[in-house]
Structure 1
Amino acid sequence: MWWPPFLYPPPASALVAGISAVQFVALAKLGLGELRGENMAYSKFWQVMAGKQQKSGGGGGAVLPSRSGMLVAYVPALVAAVASFAVPGAVEGVRAQLLSAAISGHFLKRVLEVMFIHQYSGSMALDGALTISICYVLMTTGMIYAQHLTSGLPDPPLDLLYPGVLVFAVGVAGNFYHHRLLSQLRTTKQGGGGGDKAYKIPTGGLFGLVTCPHYLFEIVGFFGFAMIAQTVHALAVAAGTAAYLAGRSCATRRWYESKFEDFPENIKALVPYVL
């Protein structure tokens, strides 16, 4: 039976196959939800959803300061990735070690950005933070376990390991650069308790072409994971992440259009000149 030369054969594991399918479908469904206005309750969209809940009389769930909520979302996945190095036999071989190191670096960057780069205001729903956290932990452990199951198998005929490391590095660098630009957009107006946060239209980098270049590079980073791993599971995670972030990018573009009457029509949501 023909099999793509850039992938390991799927493992004889119903668990991994099921997790791969569930994660892809769940992420794609979240992307469709974003297109329909069913936004995940974090970042600027938490304020939108909170306003909807107040008008409808709903809500009332526990909330955290936004920075704390994002740490709840990211730290467990970082711990899981780093801990894989301490589990005997979990990361055998250069490919598995590079994959776990890349995942660890990805979430370490996120944690450091939460602590030192991003500007936050308002709150985040605790259940939303926990949901995101669980998803990232399952994503992390799933990719590492699927890689473990390839131990002893010959590498795929088309070896993408080191190109994958390069693609991952480009994704991380581009994502960080545009996060840095975003962090400089929100200015504090003097006067009043704690200041008043205001949004601006992003500029610099690829912001002149797309609303969410940080999401574009996030997708590049996840396909870097897939190229390093060359497993069906990692590819399913990357494809699902791309579907989700495409939907979220479109939602973000609509949000900017609602806030700024002069938002440029030629700026796409995610991919320059295309989407």
Structure 2
Amino acid sequence: MVMSVLLSLMFPPPPFLLVSGLTVISFLILVSSFLAEIRGKHLNYSKFWNANPSAQNQIKLPSKAGMLLLYTPAFLAGLASFWIFPPQSVRSTILQSAVTLHFFKRVFEVEFIHKYSGGMTLESAIPISLSYFLSAATMTYSQHLTNGLPEPAMNLLYPGTVIFVIGITGNFYHHHLLSNLRGKGEKEYKIPKGGFFEFVICPHYLFEIIVFYGIFFISQTFYAFSFAIGTNLYLLGRSYSTRKWYLSKFEDFPKNVKAVIPFLF
């Protein structure tokens, strides 16, 4: 029953081993990253940049340079997709625009919104950057392969567009709140306040999850579905670790504030 509902929501998978392989590989990598976060083996960026002992011996990047490395290739992949796969439908145009806009927003935030402390290891930056780049490229390519195919039984394009806009707006707003926590020259961490920070410690992750479900609804491809589920799992793990970190650093951290899902997790 569940499978039949899912199939009604998606285009048939493309008969290309490369796309199917990337779908499986990206999902397994994200699941593996989720399990690693839960076990305390973090990707070394943000507040966890030196959480693992081995990070001390790795090449360290300044936070801003590392973040640009994460998002710029994916943004360029989205931008290039308009030339490589000229949009042939409203759906493909919206999908390519959403992917490009999401990663452009991240580059914009790196340049003009975020305030930095710590750093990022090159060993963590490279796989994250590669994952985002491949996701942007494969997302747009998978959409290109649906041109000319019958539409799914249930059209989620326009609800997906609304969900995407909610997600990207909420993500940007909470990144802005995080940036405002620190005055000029300050690098120490504080307990975030305002917006959904009153309910969860990682509302920016919550809205990023919403972004990728919006992209799945827009796309309705198996790759977009698997990437949304995988990203959801990874960010659940990362937010769980983040809440543990805040609990260990701040005695006055409010216990009713969850990790990423208000009132639940």
TM-score by length of 2: 0.94
Displacement of 1:62 in angstroms is 2.1
Match for residue 173 of structure 1 among 155, 169, 185: 169
Q: Secondary structure at the match of 2:259?
A: coil
Q: 1:18 corresponds to which residue?
A: 21
Moved over 4 A (4+): none
Is 1:90–1:145's contact at 8 Å kept on the other side of the alignment?
no
Q: Deviations over 1:151-173 (max 9, x none)?
A: 10011111011111110000000
Secondary structure, counterpart of 2:187 in structure 1: strand
* 1:109-142 Cα shifts (integer Å, max 9, x gaps): 0001000111112322123222111111111111
- Which residue number in structure 2 is paired with residue 182 of structure 1? 178
Letter in 2 for 1:31: F
Which consecutive unaligned segments of at least 5 residues does structure 2 have?
none
CA distance in 2, matches of 1:107, 1:206: 22
- Spell out the pairing of 1:58-137 with structure 2 (5 A cutoff): 59-87=56-84, 89-137=85-133
From 5, 29, 32, the equivalent of 2:8 is 5
Question: Contact 2:47–2:118 (CA<8 Å) still a contact in 1?
Answer: no
Q: 5+ residue gaps in structure 1? A: 189-194
Is the 1:90–1:144 Cα contact (8 Å) retained in structure 2? Answer: no
Equivalent-residue separation in structure 1 for 2:241 and 2:92 (angstroms): 35
Whole-angstrom distance in 2 between the partners of 1:63 and 1:42: 10
Whether the 8 Å CA contact 2:50–2:56 is kept in 1: the answer is no
- Paired letter, 1:217: F
Give the alignment of 1:29-48 within 5 angstroms: 29-48=32-51
Pair 1:211 & 2:208 matched: no
Q: Which amino acid aligns with 1:35?
A: I
- Whichever residue aligns with residue 143 of structure 2, its letter is Q
Query: What number of residue pairs does the alignment pair up?
Result: 262
Q: Which residue matches 1:271?
A: 261
Q: Kindly, what percent of the aligned residue pairs are identical?
A: 50
| Displacement after TM superposition at 1:90 (Å) | 4.8
Correspondence for 2:190: 200
Say if 2:142 is the partner of 1:146. yes
For 2:252, the equivalent position in structure 1 comes to 262
Q: What is the rounded CA distance, in whole Å, between the counterparts of 2:38 and 2:58 in structure 1?
A: 25
